[in-house]
């Protein structure tokens, strides 16, 4: 596995720790080598200590085994190169030696503007063969047009089956459990449709700010960073039809159909159906944090959104008239990722307390699925209260440790299974829906609404649902 951007945050904080765990659990082939590639001039030994420092910090004392690390670091190597320079790829080819019948995974943990050059240079240097796989991190481009250009360049070098576009949300256990819940249980299928579902909420809330990623984030904003990929992927898994088989093509065919069925949000609709926000100074876990425009590498007049909420609509038979409310933001009160399926009320109310009728799928912080039902409070009289049938996936399976999404996805790449990766047309369909929203914001110059760090988002967020007589689910602890 060759990791371009080997000294970057993604490689050091996510990929290497995930590979360490896979090594520790005996899941990597004995011959597998991991070569980090970047411009900084490190010796292999320097790089190994850099990697060890980061992995120790990430993995924690109890899981970090120095002896095991030794074995892992024997797999590691470092090669100094500039990925934008064609000649450096000739040096790389020489360093790697013969490519004969060896699976090579090229992991592009770099900015997307390097994707096209890297693919082209790999080809020229003779490093792209039928055994190669290339892994791309989101965002794939910053618009439909740029994504198409990247996909076309990759397509001229690699077959689609060799391209793995990562969306790490698809590697999360509960996200996959959503498919198990829907397609391995008969219970929900008959009511999983407009006749019985009032609306769906998909929330991905973070307490983190932009950290050291100001440069990237200023170009992306929440809609490109989170909605175009993670939130739309979650929406697809909720809304898709049962695939014919659980294989890469069948699953992805169904997801594309959902993306294509999204009603475009253009022009005037942008005002009514979206809310943009940007955090101002506030407190997270009792600690003061600065406003977004005071973060490193952020313009102090920035109008990049750090929060977005959208009312989406899937226009097909199953979902006609059912709104999908999406929201995501940084520096919110709590880190949670949840999907709420709100079923319709009973047709005739017998009891004063109303009804719960909710299915909550929690991806983070803990993985659980709970069905909220009304039950009678013990004692005299029919006093009802909502109670939850609660499936905690960690305790149900007595897991020792939760796999990180990257562990699962890296193994899938190694095994050549692309079910949990985004296909070319899927990425493009997602941009096709997102582009007009961004354009609408620009046309109507919709500046992001301020919200204090540590809150639940801008005030206007409530109106999106309240005007339809609905409410956002409240995460415990949110204000
Ligand atoms: C990444 C985004 O894809 O996902 C980050 O670029 C975000 O901005 C992260 O913080 C959230 O991932 P998770 O797994 O922590 O919910």
Q: How far apart are CA 226 and CA 470, in angstroms?
A: 24
**pLDDT given at position 476:** 43
- Domain residue extents for the chain: 2-168, 172-404+424-466
Tell the residue nearest (CA) to atom 13 of ligand 1: 169
116 lines ligand 1 (CB under 6 A): no
- Which of the 8 DSSP states describes residue 461? H
198 lines ligand 1 (CB under 6 A): no
The closest-lying atom of ligand 1 relative to the alpha carbon of residue 210 is 8
**pLDDT given at position 477:** 39
Bond prior to 365 in cis (omega within 30° of 0) = yes
Tell the residue nearest (CA) to atom 14 of ligand 1: 169
Residue of 336, 306, 342 lying closest to 324 (CA atoms)? 342
- Which of the 8 DSSP states describes residue 61? T
Low-confidence ranges of the chain (pLDDT < 50): 476-479
**pLDDT given at position 479:** 38
SS3 of 328, please? strand
C-alpha Rg value of the chain to the nearest Å: 23
Question: Looking at 210-335, which runs of residues are DSSP E strands?
Answer: 274-280, 282-284, 287-289, 307-313, 323-329
338 lines ligand 1 (CB under 6 A): no
The answer to whether 230 is a known catalytic residue is yes
**pLDDT given at position 400:** 65
**pLDDT given at position 439:** 94
225 lines ligand 1 (CB under 6 A): yes
**Ligand 1 centroid vs 317 CA: distance in angstroms?**
33
Tell the residue nearest (CA) to atom 2 of ligand 1: 225
How deeply is 151 buried, as exposed, middle or buried, from its count of CB atoms within 10 A (0-12, 13-18, 19+)? Answer: buried
Q: Are 104 and 132 in contact (CB under 8 A)?
A: yes
Return the number of other C-beta atoms located less than 10 Å from residue 233's C-beta. Answer: 23
How deeply is 476 buried, as exposed, middle or buried, from its count of CB atoms within 10 A (0-12, 13-18, 19+)? Answer: exposed
Output the six-digit token pair for 122.
């790999």
What predicted TM-score, i.e. pTM, was given to this entire model? Answer: 0.94
SS3 of 224, please? helix
**pLDDT given at position 14:** 95
Question: Looking at 48-156, which runs of residues are DSSP E strands?
Answer: 76-80, 104-108, 132-137
Fold classification of 172-404+424-466 (topology level): Dihydrodipicolinate Reductase; domain 2 (3.30.360)
Interacting residues of 70 by C-beta distance below 8 A, sequence separation 6+: none
Residue of 421, 443, 429 lying closest to 147 (CA atoms)? 429
Which CATH class for the 2-168 domain?
alpha beta
Q: Give the full edge-to-edge strand order of the sheet including 76-80.
A: 76-80, 34-38, 2-4, 104-108, 132-137, 163-166
How deeply is 129 buried, as exposed, middle or buried, from its count of CB atoms within 10 A (0-12, 13-18, 19+)? Answer: middle
């Amino acid at each position: 596995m060759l990791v371009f951007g080997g000294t970057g945050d993604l490689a050091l904080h996510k990929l290497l720790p995930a590979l360490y765990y896979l090594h520790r659990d005996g899941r990597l082939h004995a011959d597998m080598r991991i070569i980090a590639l970047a411009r900084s001039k490190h010796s292999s030994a320097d790089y190994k200590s850099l990697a060890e420092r980061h992995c120790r910090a990430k993995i924690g004392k109890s899981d970090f085994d120095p002896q095991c690390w030794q074995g892992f670091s024997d797999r590691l190597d470092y090669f100094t190169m500039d990925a934008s320079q064609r000649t450096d790829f000739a040096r790389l080819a020489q360093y790697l030696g013969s490519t004969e019948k060896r699976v090579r995974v090229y992991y592009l943990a770099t900015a997307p503007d390097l994707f096209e050059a890297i693919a082209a240079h790999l080809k020229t240097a003779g490093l792209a063969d039928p055994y190669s796989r290339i892994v791309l991190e989101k965002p794939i481009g910053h618009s439909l047009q740029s994504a198409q250009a990247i996909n076309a360049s990759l397509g001229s070098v690699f077959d689609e089956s060799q391209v793995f576009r990562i969306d790490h949300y698809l590697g999360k256990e509960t996200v996959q459990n959503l498919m198990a819940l829907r397609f391995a249980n008969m219970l929900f299928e008959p009511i999983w449709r407009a006749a019985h579902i009032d609306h769906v909420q998909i929330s991905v809330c973070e307490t983190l700010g932009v950290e050291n990623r100001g440069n990237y984030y200023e170009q992306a904003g929440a809609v490109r960073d989170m909605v175009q990929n993670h939130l739309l992927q979650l929406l697809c898994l909720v809304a898709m039809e049962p695939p014919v088989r659980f294989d890469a093509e069948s699953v992805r065919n169904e997801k594309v159909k959902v993306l294509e069925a999204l009603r475009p949000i253009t022009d005037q609709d942008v005002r009514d159906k979206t809310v943009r926000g940007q955090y101002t100074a506030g407190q997270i876990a009792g600690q003061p944090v600065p406003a977004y425009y005071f973060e490193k590498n952020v313009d102090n007049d920035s109008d990049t959104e750090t929060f977005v909420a959208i009312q989406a609509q899937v226009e097909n038979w199953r979902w006609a008239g059912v709104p999908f409310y999406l929201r995501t933001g940084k520096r919110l009160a709590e880190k949670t990722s949840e999907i709420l399926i709100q079923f319709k009320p009973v047709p005739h109310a017998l009891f004063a307390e109303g009804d719960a009728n909710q299915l909550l799928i929690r991806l983070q912080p803990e993985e659980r699925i709970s069905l909220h039902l009304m039950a009678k409070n013990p004692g005299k009289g029919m006093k009802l209260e909502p109670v939850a049938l609660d499936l905690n996936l960690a305790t149900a399976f007595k897991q020792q440790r939760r796999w990180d999404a990257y562990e699962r996805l890296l193994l899938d790449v190694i095994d050549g299974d692309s079910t949990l990766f985004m296909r070319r047309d899927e990425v493009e369909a997602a941009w096709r829906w997102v582009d007009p929203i961004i354009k609408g914001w620009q046309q109507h110059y919709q500046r992001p609404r301020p919200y204090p760090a540590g809150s639940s988002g801008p005030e206007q967020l409530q109106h999106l649902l309240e005007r339809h007589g609905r409410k956002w689910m409240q995460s415990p602890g949110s204000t």
